[in-house]
Amino acid sequence: MNCRKVYRYICDNLDEKLDSPRCRQIRRHLDGCPECQEYLKSIKLTVKLYRAAPPPQIPAATHNRLMKVLNLELGKHGTPARKGSRACR
């Protein structure tokens, strides 16, 4: 697997429990590629910082307009669900 493919599918490696053939290829590539190791570390740090930050306080009307523009709708649990989205595979 090359760096370009690792960059494309790196989110598969964020959950260490995944054991698909692609995840194994990503892990093998990461073992020998310092650049991709740094890329993964930066993604993990970004997620960590995002989770630690307080949620933004925006007016409900602004939020609703934003969701409409982004073509999102709220699911049963109040979380955004993209129409026609695909998980990283």
pLDDT (tens digit per residue) in 54-84? 988 899 999 888 888 887 655 544 554 544 4
The yes-or-no verdict on residue 85 having pLDDT over 60 is no
Is the separation of the CB atoms in 45 and 55 below 8 Å? Answer: no
Do 58 and 46 fall within a single domain?
Answer: no
User: How many other CB atoms are there within 10 angstroms of residue 40's CB atom?
Assistant: 19
Q: How far apart are CA 42 and CA 68, in angstroms?
A: 30
Do 42 and 62 fall within a single domain?
Answer: no
Full residue range of the structural domain in which residue 42 is found: 1-53
Do 39 and 15 fall within a single domain?
Answer: yes
Name the nearest CA neighbour of 84 among 15, 70, 8: 70
Q: How far apart are CA 89 and CA 87, in angstroms?
A: 6
Is the residue at 65 inside a domain?
yes
Is the residue at 89 inside a domain?
no
pLDDT the model gives residue 17: 63
Do 48 and 63 fall within a single domain?
Answer: no
Q: What band does 27 get if pLDDT is binned at 50, 70 and 90?
A: confident
Indicate whether this model's pTM tops 0.85: no
Is the separation of the CB atoms in 84 and 5 below 8 Å? Answer: no
